Amino acid sequence: MRELAARLGVNANTVAAAYRILRERGVIETAGRRGSRIRPKPATTGREQLRVEVPPGGRDLSTGNPDPALLPLLAPALAAAAEQGDRVPVRYGDDPVDAELARLARAELDADGVPAGPLTVTSGSLDAVERVLAAHLRPGDTVAVEDPGWGSLLDLVPALGLHTAPVGVDDDGPRADDLRRALESGARALIVTDRAQNPTGASVTATRARALRAVLRDHPGTLLVEDDHGHGIVDLPLHPLAGVTRHWAFVRSAAKAYGPDLRLAVLTGDPVTVDRVRGRQRLGPGWVSLLLQRAVAHLWTHGAVDRAAVAEAYRARRAGLVDALAERGVVAHGRSGMNVWVPVPDETGAIARLLHRGWAVAPGARFRLASPQAVRITVSPLAEEDIAPLADAVAAAVRPSLARAYG
């Protein structure tokens, strides 16, 4: 910095301030004694841009959307919420969390073993994660993230001026040894998807949860964020990690089970974390619409979604595709949720060959940091008669003899 200040003829403090602004805006990244460098792409350049154009008449299996046929009708819930709002209008200064929504959410969290803690509501899972990270971390801090992992999250972390430390994932969740290495290397936070992990379908097992808790106990200062967006569409039990560290947050959204347009997630955590999130929220949007909160509470209380039936529908499609691929010598992953992850030797070639056969899948580059190449297939649009022709197309695109090497 002193050298640059002398070359430009400005004060060293000016250069230091410029570096800080560039780092906070995600233009540069710093690596201690190794210095600073320009990021390979702007933090605001989203992985969502890595989309595949679906040819006319093609089938789009790339979106990650739920099956519309499994989503409830929203009109009755919205009408009931509006009627309640007409009787008791919302005023500035009211409690930002609907009491009935909080009661229902807390009961389910208790049943799943999530520790007691205050509760608030955010505009979806990603909003919750962003607010929690901003409440505790500063630009330059490192966050341990799943690899492969949710593409939007992998964009969000650097957009906040933070670094990512990849933690490998298998069918049972994040690998404990990888997490230990990340934390010992200085990662200050960990983000975990408990079930229906995007893109692999991983679900944290009881054994893996014990191993991850053991690692976290050795690093009690780690900020732990858990995302359980699969609640309501998964038939596997939850094994939460919450409470092991001093600061933690546990998030559940309504999007996958009740519809993506329901931008609502319930957030619980330690008192300091939730208080900071609420405080910052008051300075921006103020609160998530009570009309929306009451509509979600109505959906919950009136059994608008048959959770067991929805979970079974997605399970049958995933298992059908995974089994059909296995019969054709192709390794695939998908323990829970609505996606199947297929390792491939060449993403570009596999996607092109599938497009030629009329199937559009998501490139693994949207979800990867350092993990091997793969493609993600969303099973939501599939019918039983689609499984065999899709498996044939994937097998031809992947070249099974090479795909086995990724198992």
Q: What is the pLDDT of residue 404?
A: 43
Name all domains of the chain by residue range, CATH numbers in brackets. Answer: 57-71+306-406 (3.90.1150.10), 75-301 (3.40.640.10)
Q: What is the pLDDT of residue 32?
A: 59
The answer to whether the CB of 205 falls within 8 A of the CB of 229 is no
Average pLDDT over residues 330-359: 95
Average pLDDT over residues 71-77: 96
Average pLDDT over residues 81-91: 91
Q: What is the pLDDT of residue 2?
A: 85
Average pLDDT over residues 77-93: 92
What pTM did the predictor assign? 0.88
pLDDT band at 294 (very low <50, low <70, confident <90, very high): very high
Flag whether pLDDT at 384 surpasses 90: yes
Distances (CA, A) of 319 to 67, 72, 80, 325: 16, 24, 38, 10
The stretches of 246-345 forming alpha helices (DSSP H) are 255-258, 271-282, 290-301, 307-327
Average pLDDT over all residues of the chain: 92
Q: What is the pLDDT of residue 24?
A: 59
* pLDDT tens-digit series, residues 125-180: 999 999 999 999 999 999 999 999 999 999 999 999 999 999 999 999 999 999 99
Torsional sign, CA 255, 256, 261, 262 = negative
Flag whether pLDDT at 309 surpasses 70: yes
Flag whether pLDDT at 279 surpasses 90: yes
Angle at 348 between CA 347 and CA 351, to 5 degrees: 80
Percent of the chain with pLDDT over 90: 81
Flag whether pLDDT at 1 surpasses 90: no
The answer to whether the CB of 104 falls within 8 A of the CB of 300 is yes
Average pLDDT over residues 48-67: 85
Distance (Å, whole) CA 382 – CA 393? 14
Neighbours of 395 (CB within 10 A): 18
pLDDT band at 406 (very low <50, low <70, confident <90, very high): very low
Distances (CA, A) of 188 to 259, 273, 284: 33, 15, 26
The pair of structure tokens assigned to 312 is: 């079974």
